[in-house]
Structures are given as structure tokens and as C-alpha cells.
Structure 1
Amino acid sequence: MIKVVIFDMDGLLIDSEVISYRCYKELIESYGYSFMMEDYIQDYPGKQLNVSLQFIKEHYHLDYDIREKFQLFHHLEQKYMKEDGVQLKKGTQELLKYLQEHGYSIALATSSLSSRAHSILDEHDILHYFDEIICGSDVQRGKPYPDIFLKACERLNVLPSEAIVLEDSEAGIQAAYDAKVPVYCIPDLKQPGEDYVQKTQGVLTSLLDVITILENM
């Protein structure tokens, strides 16, 4: 019996991946390298920011202070979010309301900073739906490691088999699979590769499909 639904945030609840791409692009191209959407899709969705900044530093052979670039990234993100806004993904409000009304516990498991996650959810008036919020700083290893989903189950006192995970990225799929939590994928910028599809319970078109799945269980 499913008792808990665990959500990712970026690319699943909120349409923020394009903004993240613009931030990475500005950072990388300031060093004279080109950075295309395909590059972002290949290596960045679902990863903790500090992990991606370390990857950039090594991949492009750059010499910079990661803490400094961490602050720069968040400055750029806030600028773009203020300019363009960030919208909820289709079905977010409807699914959260359904889950609350039907007695499911709701958790967020995001690589994001806690302050950022709380701010974004509060801005869209959906923070009150979540029973637990687990962020990147709450675990030793980020996605694709399973730690964050195991922590969510631990906090809500359920077995992995009593939860489901909703994810958009391959890193998130892998993390849920290794945590032995059934995972559904709602793709954002990238369709998961076939080897990742095999690790899911299904690939859905929107969060609204989750309501149908739960009603049929």
C-alpha cells in the first residue's frame, strides 16, 4: 500500500531547468567556451550545484573558487527568476490537493538549497502541502545516489515499498531505483534513455497522470 509520494522539485514541480541552463551558460561562456542546451541536458539535470560546479572546473580545466561560483550562480538565478518568473508544471496544484485530500503523506526530495526550496514553494503557495522537505545538505551524497530518498522514507517512517518517487531526470531515476522506491518519470527537457526507462514503473506525460495511477492501485 502506498502511503507516501516523494517529489523532486526542479523540472518536475517547477519549470526551472531553462533558467538553470542560462546560469550555467553565462558562467561557462565567460571563460570563452560555448555551452549549448544539449550540453546541459547531457550532464546537469538532477545534480547538486556544488557537484556540477566541480564538474565544470575539471571538465574545462578552470581555476576558480567553487564557493564564489556558488554565490554567482544563485545571483544569476534570482535575476532570471525575477525577470521571467518560474511557473508550476502542469498538474502540480491538482495532484498535491488530491494527495492531501486522500490522506497521503507528501515529501520533497531536492538537490536544491533548503532556503531556495522553501522560498519557491512558499511563493507558489504550495509549501503547506509538504510533510517533509529533504534537501541536498541533509544527506552526504546527492543524486544519483539513493541517500535522499532513503532519508525521506526514514523521516516519514515508511518502507521504500510504501512510497513512490516522481522524477524528471536520469540521476533521480537512478537514485530512486537504488533506494528500491518505485519511481515514475515525468520528463522535462530530456526523455530518459531506455536503460533508465527500464528502472521506472512508467513514463508519464504530466503530474495529472499520477492521480489515475493511484486511483487504479
Structure 2
Amino acid sequence: MDGVLIDTEKYLTRFWRQAAAEAGLLLSLEECYAFRSFAGKYAAPWFAEKYGEQYDYWTIRERRKELMQEHIRVHGIEKKDGVEEVLQVLSQEGYQTAVVTATDETRARQYLRDIGILELFDAVICANMVERGKPFPDVYLYACEKIQKEPQDCVAVEDSPNGIRAAYGAGCHVVMVPDLTQPDEESQNRIERKAASIRDIPGVVREISRGKLQYGR
């Protein structure tokens, strides 16, 4: 969702830096990129090991959420260009669509409702619905179960390494639409296509459906 459907990753990154700075920890943009789609359950011990126990991940995260909520209250949610049209095309061509996000269900549904696209999805799958969030594959496996499709028959559209890792681990075809960063070496080895924008997704999905991109694992 964040970075693919809605243009929020840039603000998540900004407010991670601000919240951390308030706690006395200076983070670079590149360091903040690592938090994208990183389930808190796993991010917290990683954060403590990397930066030290004196910087509490959960406290900083809650402050980041406060800052983000205030920004959204004032400015609203920015929808990625072309999202609604892409979803309508996929629906018209008979494809099912599901949101698979690290955001909790309440906020995810509210964000999607606010920009008028919630009803365009067959399912909304969130990290708090499964035992392990991204980068583990559980959320994608559960999404496939909910729409009653095998992973190898599904295309995952992602923008972050943690999301790509989760989708690849589930056995989905993985397409990256870069948002804040281009694919790193690990991600490059896990994606089947890099799309310039979400507007390219229907064409990529058609190619995969026709077997031009082969499921290779």
C-alpha cells in the first residue's frame, strides 16, 4: 500500500528521522529506508542491535505515528497517479486484487477509504492478521488463501526490499515499482520486472498471464 498505492513513504521516512532525532538518534535517509514494510516485531530487536538499547524502537515508532497522523489530518492522503484507473482495468479484465500491507487493518482501510479505492479490492490483508509480517511470506500466503489462488498464479507489486522478500518467499511473481529507491542487488534477483509506474502493471500482468514471464522457482 504505502509507496505503491499511496504516496506516503516519503513522509514515513521524514517522520522516522524526526522522531528519532527527538530521541537523540540521528538517522540518514538510507537508514530510514530499511524500515519500509518491516514488521515491528522483527524491526525492534534489529533496531536495538544496530543502534543500542538506549534508543527504544517502540517509543520512536509511536512518535513517528503521531507525526504522520498529524500530517495526514492536515494534508490528507496522496493517491499515486493512475491507481484508480489501473484497478478498474484489472477488474474489467477479470483479475482479482488484494492489498497486502504492513500497516494495521484499521489504518489501512481508513486510508484506502479516504482516497476512494477500498471497494475496488477483493481483500485487504494486513500484518496483524498473521503471525509474522513482512519480510516473512505469511501475509502473501494468507492473501492468496483469501482470494483462493495459488501463489504462482499471483503477481505481487512491491516497492521495498522487505516487501519483495515476502512476496518472493511466498512464491509469487514479483514486480517492482520503485518509489524511494531502485532495486538493490538482492531485490534485483527476486523480481521478474521493474515497472516505471503503476500504470504499467496491467500490461505486465497480461504478459505474465500469457506465460511470457516464467515462474522460475
Query: Shorter-chain TM-score: which interval?
Result: 0.7 to 0.9
Counterpart contact for 2:6–2:78, Cα < 8 Å: yes
Question: Is it true that 1:90 corresponds to 2:85 in the alignment?
Answer: no
TM-score after normalising by structure 1: 0.88
Counterpart contact for 1:53–1:70, Cα < 8 Å: no
- SS state of the match for residue 86, structure 1? coil
Question: Is it true that 1:165 corresponds to 2:174 in the alignment?
Answer: no
Question: Is it true that 1:35 corresponds to 2:64 in the alignment?
Answer: no
Aligned equivalents of 1:20 and 1:149: distance in 2?
23
Counterpart contact for 2:3–2:9, Cα < 8 Å: yes
Question: Is it true that 1:17 corresponds to 2:17 in the alignment?
Answer: no
- Report how many residues are paired: 208
Q: Compared with structure 1, are the counterparts of its residues 213 and 65 closer, same or farther at alpha carbon in structure 2 (3 Å cutoff)?
A: closer
- Alignment equivalent of 2:121, drawn from 125, 130, 144: 130
Moved more, 207-216 or 164-173: 207-216
Aligned equivalents of 1:56 and 1:67: distance in 2?
10
The residue aligned with 2:18 is: 26
Identity of aligned residues (%): 31
Quote the offset at 1:80 in angstroms: 1.6
Aligned equivalents of 2:97 and 2:168: distance in 1?
19
The residue aligned with 1:4 is: none
Poorly superposed stretches of 4+, deviation over 6 Å: none
TM-score after normalising by structure 2: 0.88
Amino acid at match of 1:200: I
* Unaligned 5+ runs, structure 1: 1-8
Quote the offset at 1:68 in angstroms: 4.8
Quote the offset at 1:50 in angstroms: 4.8
Moved more, 119-128 or 154-163: 154-163
The residue aligned with 2:111 is: 120
- Alignment equivalent of 1:107, drawn from 94, 98, 102: 98
Quote the offset at 1:63 in angstroms: 4.2
The residue aligned with 1:144 is: 135
Aligned equivalents of 1:46 and 1:128: distance in 2?
23
The residue aligned with 2:169 is: 178
The residue aligned with 2:213 is: none
Counterpart contact for 1:50–1:66, Cα < 8 Å: no
Amino acid at match of 2:10: V
Counterpart contact for 2:44–2:58, Cα < 8 Å: no
- SS state of the match for residue 167, structure 2? helix
Question: Is it true that 1:205 corresponds to 2:196 in the alignment?
Answer: yes
Counterpart contact for 2:38–2:134, Cα < 8 Å: yes
Moved more, 174-183 or 45-54: 45-54
The residue aligned with 2:215 is: none
Quote the offset at 1:21 in angstroms: 1.2
Aligned equivalents of 2:205 and 2:161: distance in 1?
23
Question: Is it true that 1:154 corresponds to 2:157 in the alignment?
Answer: no
Quote the offset at 1:196 in angstroms: 1.5
- SS state of the match for residue 149, structure 2? coil
Quote the offset at 1:66 in angstroms: 5.8
Counterpart contact for 2:47–2:57, Cα < 8 Å: no
Aligned equivalents of 1:207 and 1:189: distance in 2?
14
Quote the offset at 1:54 in angstroms: 4.5
Aligned equivalents of 2:74 and 2:113: distance in 1?
19
